[in-house]
Structure 1
């Protein structure tokens, strides 16, 4: 029981820092830019989140809860879904949001990098190893928040801040992959399981995530059509408090799943 509580504290610290950082992004944009940039950023989140969640397919939870895990197959699925998610975001943004295209693409890339970080966390979490992945998540969160804040303050440019975040987050992902996968043995994850069977399991999970995220973003789509981009920024700053509560709840799921599976 003490071990579970200790693991819970590590994951809680990582998740609370992640939640606070996302709220700080909203504050920083509101403070140093305008409601127009805030609206662009939050609309980009509203559009890209359902798409990336659809292709995320809760792979981390699948890795933890599934006994027969094939790293090679899952890595192949992750790489393909990364590509498809980016392509769909490009098509959607070019069709409906051309004026915000660059913001949408940068936010999508950030989301894809995040879901790859989750993917590599899944393997040590499966072995009930939480301390090191949580520390890496905390370091990543603090680092990208600092660089985002510095670029927003110095350049007053949302685009430059997002580019800096993308570059740093990708570099950190390389370290996360090496360290997290170094905590486990790849040989344990070579059991053969048909890719089709894996997809039949995880695609419904992605669809559920997509529908939940899409339904929560509907007010932003309506405001974009009948209001203006600044109104979306104000609305999103208020409603984001709910997102933070949801991030807190994920702490319990992330820690307890390996024990209750």
Structure 2
């Protein structure tokens, strides 16, 4: 685990204990059944408290994940039970004061009904009476006992038959259809739908452009913050190394200074004892 991760874990432990104590005091001191408080204000308070409880559970999970001390799990289990009890209390109040869900106004009844459209007339094919009579004569002449080979016409016979047919016996083109009212403007329903689609397309394009700008801005901000965080991390690591070296140096100096102090005190005691002995010897002699 890096130095920054260990520092964050220590902060999470401290924040978890403080947050749980603050939530206990807040929920215990709050009068959830006050009639003078409107239900919507109470519901907003319960939603805020539920968000804090959710954050506390997240901190607890993070601390438990990186915890190596077996004795701390019992304390974390007590905190989890406390958070569950507080969540049950606040959730009960939130369920009681939550506003009823409202459905949006339907759009379908406001749209106009489409107008019925007339189908386009199918062009008819007219055949002249002369053509019908000519076909009847040809079919009557060919009804004899002919074989299958005689019934088949060669390409030259087919061309002769087509050339001998009068112009009036050919198929006449159909009368051009009269102008129908189908060339009118589109119904109001289609116009409203197209206008709504164009407006939604413009809004979506604007939102896409704004999202792209936001993404670019956030990426630039993250790059700047990343550089700053890396620089701060480097400084903290260098400070940690310097403090570790200073700690070793201070420890060595502390042991060395204590040795010097005891040596000086021992020298003073020897000098005092020598002076006292010399004084008594002089007095006795």
Q: Using structure 1 for the length normalisation, give the TM-score.
A: 0.21
Q: Using structure 2 for the length normalisation, give the TM-score.
A: 0.19
Higher helix share: 1
Structure of greater relative contact order (alpha carbons < 8 Å, 6+ residues apart): 1
